[in-house]
Chain A
Amino acid sequence: MKLITYNFLTSKCIRGVKVGYPLKLNVVEKKVEQQNFNPEFVQRMLPRLEWSAIKSAADIVGCAEIPENMNVETSLHDTDFLQKLHHLLLEIEIVNGSLICPETGRVFPITNGIPNMLLNEDEV
């Protein structure tokens, strides 16, 4: 699982959960896979990012260079920043680990890079 996808996932689908976001990220195994840097795509993703989630994920995977706050307007043309964000969002792969619902503690496992967000009968 890439962190761009992490940024899109919630546990709001669990019955009773109000926000379910951001999920807590628990990393057991990760790897880095080089991807072509495409500034235009990162630019287009900027408004779709929830910065608090991105920042805490960056801390967890040890990506120190991600700032506390992000302003979409000024970040759009900061190539250096876009490059770092590209690395964070698209090159870091969570191979094994889990996502944890912030409200209920429900654990969603990530195995072989694939998160399992399926709920149990009593949760829907």
Chain B
Amino acid sequence: MAGIKKYLLLFAQDFVEFRYPEIESLIKLFKINVEVPKPTPIERPYWILENVEESEVRQIASRSVSLKFVAEIWSSGTSYDEFHGNVKKLMPLIDKKYKNESFKFMVETYNKHIKLKQRIEKIETMNYLDSVLGTIDLKNPDNTFVYFEYYGIDDLNVPVHPEHIYFGRYIADGQRDLFNKISLKTRKFIGNTSMDPQLSILMANQGLCSQNDLMFDPFCGTGSMLIAGALFGSYVIGMDIDYLTLHAKTKPSRALQKVRAADESIRANMEQYNLQNLYLDVFVGDFANYPLKGNLKFDSIICDPPYGVREGLLKVEKKEGRKFTAMTEDAVHYPSLSDYKMTNLFHDLLNFSVKHLKIDGRLVCWFPIPDKFYDDTIFPQHSALKLISTSRQQLIGDTSRILLTYEKIAETGELVKNDALENVDFRMKYFTQYDKERKETRHKNHQKNLEEAEKRGIKLMNKTEWKKYVNKKRQAEAMDKDS
């Protein structure tokens, strides 16, 4: 069509708070120069983009999981009369090539369900277009034309007539099919921490994961984020403190499954989705004391840090008194794990990201918070990281988690003091309905780890043996220093 092109982006109505940050991220990723509209209310299911190229909206559609489809708008109206009048005015301008190409119609409505018969009737109201369009081909049309009626967002008060009617040429679908592809139902290895596919893909989009990038998840668990990053061509590495999870030896989380299959693993998941070429490694490590070289830079860091009952915040406990719970000759060892205060964890995560992200690289992470403590000053901040977006997801039990996206803007800087955040750790002490449960889980896990070590034929040292071992090691260290 001649003149300014306009595109209609129709969104799915789940996770509406994540929509704007996602599209904004994709526009940045593809370096598209366009003003992203911020329609109110945020629930509004469609936006109109102006001054973009078709190739650019196709790029957005190639990654977005919020988007149902995008269409080039040819005409619109706020009443049937106005709408058909506008379409008719447009007809002489429609490119002659469409006369020689096949087509089909697609009818979409929002906030009103219509039956097949009504759909056909709607298409029939457009019969006058016959003179400019070619033949109908329902299976393999050259073009699909979209007829869209919008009945507002108030589902308790649906108007008789649509508020807006649009007609245009369908361009592309979003990536909602990807959820099925990586569905947890059919995924080989999952655990009770596996991330919802839609959210994990949203996170990879927030992280601007792209071809040949290096992505890291320091709390990778069963590796959901690794899958999402690799879907977009990033090479992925994960770390987790839990040996059993990384070796897929935890209790199965599927209701009907008693034992884990021998071939369950993060790598097997990557193979299931044909992403094994992008899988680098996972390793067992403690985020509070991570084993990565100082100058290593990642393109993105994407994670769901530990919280809540499902898995406590853990780190290897520092024991000055050299007490120990398990130590083995070959150093396969399950150290005792202590609570990791939430503020500390997030401060570590921000510092880690400043050190290990490239400039412009992104940190995407969930931040959990009981609703009664929530306000928008609570988020951890660092002067070298720009907080790009915050999207809240309400969970059951009066808690929320907020998806935080940061972008590294400087090589150095410091944590921003945040009283509200520091108060939370303190106030969380009063929010202890989970605490007991968490301790029990921790204890159980620990016992299991010990049993597991024993099963694998590893002899645990007793206290005297341990002392000897430590002394020997100290001597060796001293000799190393002398030489």
Residues on A facing B (Cβ under 8 Å): 1-2, 4-5, 8-13, 16, 21, 35-36, 38, 40-41, 44-45, 48, 50, 90, 103-109, 111-122, 124
Smallest Cβ-Cβ distance to A94: which chain B residue: B281
The reply to whether B283 and A117 form a contact with Cβ atoms under 8 Å apart is yes
- For B267, the chain A residues whose CB sits under 8 A away are 113
| Of the residues B214, B292, B316, B330, contact of A124 by C-beta under 8 Å | B316
Is B115's CB within 8 Å of the partner chain A?
no
6 closest residue pairs by CB, A with B: A121-B319, A117-B291, A5-B281, A117-B285, A116-B284, A13-B289
- For A115, the chain B residues whose CB sits under 8 A away are 281, 283-284
Min CB distance A38 to B, Å, is: 7
Instruction: Say yes or no: A109-B332 contact (C-beta < 8 A), given A114-B284, A115-B284.
Output: yes
Question: Which residues of B in the span 239-270 have a Cβ within 8 Å of any Cβ on A?
Answer: 241, 243, 246-247, 267
Is B290's CB within 8 Å of the partner chain A?
yes
The reply to whether A112 and B283 form a contact with Cβ atoms under 8 Å apart is no
Q: How far is the CA of A38 from the CA of B278 in the complex (A)?
A: 10
Residues on B facing A (Cβ under 8 Å): 211-212, 214, 235, 237, 241, 243, 246-247, 267, 276-277, 280-286, 288-294, 296-297, 316-319, 322-325, 327, 330-336, 470, 473, 476-477, 480
The reply to whether B291 and A44 form a contact with Cβ atoms under 8 Å apart is no
Smallest Cβ-Cβ distance to B476: which chain A residue: A105
User: Which among A1, A111, A115, A121 has the highest number of chain B CB atoms within 10 Å?
Assistant: A121
The reply to whether B293 and A9 form a contact with Cβ atoms under 8 Å apart is yes
- For B246, the chain A residues whose CB sits under 8 A away are 114
The reply to whether A104 and B293 form a contact with Cβ atoms under 8 Å apart is no
The reply to whether B292 and A106 form a contact with Cβ atoms under 8 Å apart is no
The reply to whether B291 and A12 form a contact with Cβ atoms under 8 Å apart is yes
- For A106, the chain B residues whose CB sits under 8 A away are 331, 473
Min CB distance B68 to A, Å, is: 33
- For B281, the chain A residues whose CB sits under 8 A away are 1-2, 4-5, 113-115
Beyond known contacts A4-B281, A115-B283: 20 more, CB 8 A cutoff: A5-B283, A8-B237, A9-B283, A9-B292, A9-B293, A10-B294, A13-B291, A35-B276, A104-B477, A114-B247, A115-B284, A118-B284, A118-B285, A118-B286, A118-B335, A119-B286, A122-B322, A122-B324, A122-B470, A124-B288
- A and B contact pairs by CB, cutoff 8 A, 25 listed: A1-B283, A2-B281, A5-B237, A5-B281, A8-B293, A9-B283, A9-B293, A11-B291, A13-B290, A21-B293, A45-B214, A90-B280, A104-B477, A109-B332, A111-B332, A114-B246, A114-B247, A114-B281, A115-B281, A115-B284, A116-B284, A117-B283, A118-B284, A119-B335, A121-B317
- For A44, the chain B residues whose CB sits under 8 A away are 212, 214
| Of the residues A1, A107, A116, contact of B243 by C-beta under 8 Å | A116
Instruction: Say yes or no: A109-B330 contact (C-beta < 8 A), given A10-B291, A118-B241.
Output: yes
The reply to whether A112 and B317 form a contact with Cβ atoms under 8 Å apart is no
The reply to whether B212 and A40 form a contact with Cβ atoms under 8 Å apart is yes
- For A5, the chain B residues whose CB sits under 8 A away are 237, 280-281, 283
The reply to whether A107 and B296 form a contact with Cβ atoms under 8 Å apart is no
The reply to whether A122 and B331 form a contact with Cβ atoms under 8 Å apart is no
Min CB distance B359 to A, Å, is: 14
Smallest Cβ-Cβ distance to A10: which chain B residue: B293
The reply to whether A121 and B318 form a contact with Cβ atoms under 8 Å apart is yes
- For B290, the chain A residues whose CB sits under 8 A away are 13
- For B323, the chain A residues whose CB sits under 8 A away are 121
- For B333, the chain A residues whose CB sits under 8 A away are 118, 120
The reply to whether B477 and A118 form a contact with Cβ atoms under 8 Å apart is no
Q: How far is the CA of A40 from the CA of B235 in the complex (A)?
A: 12
The reply to whether A114 and B283 form a contact with Cβ atoms under 8 Å apart is yes
Min CB distance B408 to A, Å, is: 16
- For B480, the chain A residues whose CB sits under 8 A away are 103-105
- For A90, the chain B residues whose CB sits under 8 A away are 280
Min CB distance A25 to B, Å, is: 14
The reply to whether A118 and B316 form a contact with Cβ atoms under 8 Å apart is yes
Q: How far is the CA of A109 from the CA of B83 in the complex (A)?
A: 70
- For B336, the chain A residues whose CB sits under 8 A away are 121
The reply to whether B212 and A41 form a contact with Cβ atoms under 8 Å apart is yes
- For B325, the chain A residues whose CB sits under 8 A away are 121
Min CB distance B449 to A, Å, is: 11
Smallest Cβ-Cβ distance to B320: which chain A residue: A122
Smallest Cβ-Cβ distance to B322: which chain A residue: A122
- For A117, the chain B residues whose CB sits under 8 A away are 283-285, 291
Instruction: Say yes or no: A118-B318 contact (C-beta < 8 A), given A8-B293, A10-B291, A109-B331.
Output: no
User: Which among A8, A36, A106 has the highest number of chain B CB atoms within 10 Å?
Assistant: A8
Instruction: Say yes or no: A114-B291 contact (C-beta < 8 A), given A36-B277, A41-B212, A121-B318.
Output: no
Instruction: Say yes or no: A121-B291 contact (C-beta < 8 A), given A1-B281, A105-B476, A106-B331.
Output: no
Instruction: Say yes or no: A48-B296 contact (C-beta < 8 A), given A12-B291, A121-B317, A121-B324.
Output: yes
Q: How far is the CA of A21 from the CA of B292 in the complex (A)?
A: 10
- For B473, the chain A residues whose CB sits under 8 A away are 104-106
Instruction: Say yes or no: A50-B331 contact (C-beta < 8 A), given A38-B212, A105-B476.
Output: no
User: Which among A9, A38, A117, A118 has the highest number of chain B CB atoms within 10 Å?
Assistant: A118
Min CB distance A90 to B, Å, is: 8
- For A112, the chain B residues whose CB sits under 8 A away are 247
Instruction: Say yes or no: A8-B212 contact (C-beta < 8 A), given A114-B247, A118-B335.
Output: no
Smallest Cβ-Cβ distance to A99: which chain B residue: B291
